[in-house]
Amino acid sequence: MRMWGTEDGNRAHVIYTDAEKKVIEEIAFRLDVRDLSLDLIRMICALATQLSCVLLTSEFGILHPTESAVLAAIRNSTAAKFVIDPAATLRSLGTKFGEVIVDFDQAQDNPSGEEDS
């Protein structure tokens, strides 16, 4: 595997099936929604188009490699919602899975985690 970028930012990796790195099994990208790069999105779409590929989101959605499709998927992603409102996003995930993750209101009122008497 070869990787470019940073662990917590924009990143690309290529996985090869052979030691000589001549046969590619997978090309993947991670886009940091906190600091979107339209140029990077355009380059990803151009590469996918050149290779006659579609794009697969982390939630297994299939996208045509167009800037508008990628931007729409990002806008609707959990990551983008988390950037805008982390507490509400985590609450919605808890509801989605039928469990309570954290009582954010209590955690903000009492950061030590101790119960009030």
Q: Above pLDDT 70, what percent of the chain?
A: 80
Residues 6+ apart with CB under 8 A from 11: 3, 4, 5, 29, 30
- Measured torsion, CA atoms of residues 86, 39, 9, 1, in degrees rounded to the nearest 10: 130
Q: Tokens standing for 15?
A: 């996985």
The stretch 90-97 carries a mean pLDDT of: 74
- Over the stretch 57-71, which tens digit does the pLDDT of each residue have? 988 999 999 999 999
Would you state the pLDDT for residue 110?
Answer: 54
Tell me what the pLDDT averaged over the chain comes to. 86
Q: Tokens standing for 92?
A: 């919605």
- Over the stretch 7-23, which tens digit does the pLDDT of each residue have? 899 999 999 999 999 99
Q: Which of 56, 55, 59 is nearest to 93 (CA)?
A: 59
